[in-house]
Structure 1
């Protein structure tokens, strides 16, 4: 189209306006203001008047109604191409084109981004974005979710402004290992997974499971990682308590004048995990490693007169789940006989 800045009117509108907005060039020239969406009209007219007065380039994006009532997004651009005798600009020429598809895509992307942001800010984990073009400690994280305050007690904005935030709070016994694992993952362009301790704002140490995946590539070829840090402190505390309980149990049994043992068995008779106390060596002259190294050691050391009854009772324990409680004889490695009482409860 051609535009007269003095009269604020179109001098010419090309026939393509009919395809764009569904009406003739003449009708558009008369009705273009009324066709602009009411929420955009004042802004567009003010921008047009400002460009006319200053004789500068005009650019606007706005919604316009088609003749059939449908709403389309328009991008309009105009530049001055004719000048008067005094050098003043007297004629502007411009183009309008449909950007509805782009605007709808932008709206969908914005909605998806907001939904994702809402999701990551509500899940009980710290979401983050890291640009692998920079070594850890050189620049801060690109993004850290507000959940960092809930998990560790730090403000997200403060964390993102501090390049050394992770290094300053990671446990010194864990940091070298984690940094080495991270560097290897980045070098091999693969996901990163590790567990480590991080000092919270209250001084306590929290266990985190950190998982990150490469999701995009920079123009220079480096990767953008998105990750989550999940607080697994309760799990680690439970595992520590279990290990401590097992150690106390084993220490107790190893100091008692009995031979404690554990055998995992399925109803089909398959043997799983096994353990035997060190007292087995004093009882029959076989070390725990030897005893556990051969499933048939116990069977061979049973007294021949007792073997069938013992094995039959054990079958009932292994297959049916009945408690095992018997007295029988075993042959010591040096040939001596011994008569232990064996009690086993499943």
Structure 2
């Protein structure tokens, strides 16, 4: 790896983007981070992450929104990026019920702007965040990258599936290498306040009730942030290549498989929500007051990642236990909020 190699990380002030940028800087890459610092959740937390990045040698910040086509083009024109790691998006399943246009602007228009810039300015590899939410209410488990994903149950999920389809189109038409990562419930230090583990921690320490949807009868494939970042870095180096299909097709234009890949990134160990709460209670050394609620519109009951493809292609298997991961999160939370 050349220490002059320049990488663009969008969403650098976000949870996963911040950690990925830190890891790249640790490895000697020059990193341009792009973020719009929106107020979907506490902006002071985003600014605190960004302040740490700005202290690092080799980091440059661009304050811009994905839907600002001119700003995106100017960012790409400023450097020759070997890789673009696109982690910026309007997040949140439940928020998509309230503000759908934010998802169209950021996740659709913004993603097309990134794809067009990668094509126009010749980015070597686009790695982008998809989501386990694309599996919708799929009953077959564990979820495989080969499963049908055409029945999303939230607008957020629909935009993430659309990202995968758009990426495939650009890989096919222009030979742009793209790798989509379907993240499964990433958690850990510097995490998002809108995520359950974060809000649960705040409520338990404040003596307030935690809200358990579907009366707690759900399972999640929790992925510790360091494991998610390791997967991103390994997949960044694994640039997809076009492959010939075994059987020729009548239309020669689609006889080859484009340089397009999708990977699940999860722990492959789904945890019942009540077990998760018990593990968090142990880390906090406090009991939770539980409020039982019906299933929330747009939620899915269970998630479970098949990571066989990730393991085969990268040799990596996420290994951080939920106990260890939540203890690390609680230790960080206490230093920031208590």
TM-score normalised per structure 2: 0.20
Largest Rg, 1 or 2: 1
TM-score w.r.t. length of structure 1 = 0.19
Tell which has more relative contact order, 1 or 2 (C-alpha 8 A, sep 6+): 2
Normalized per residue, the structure richer in strand is 1
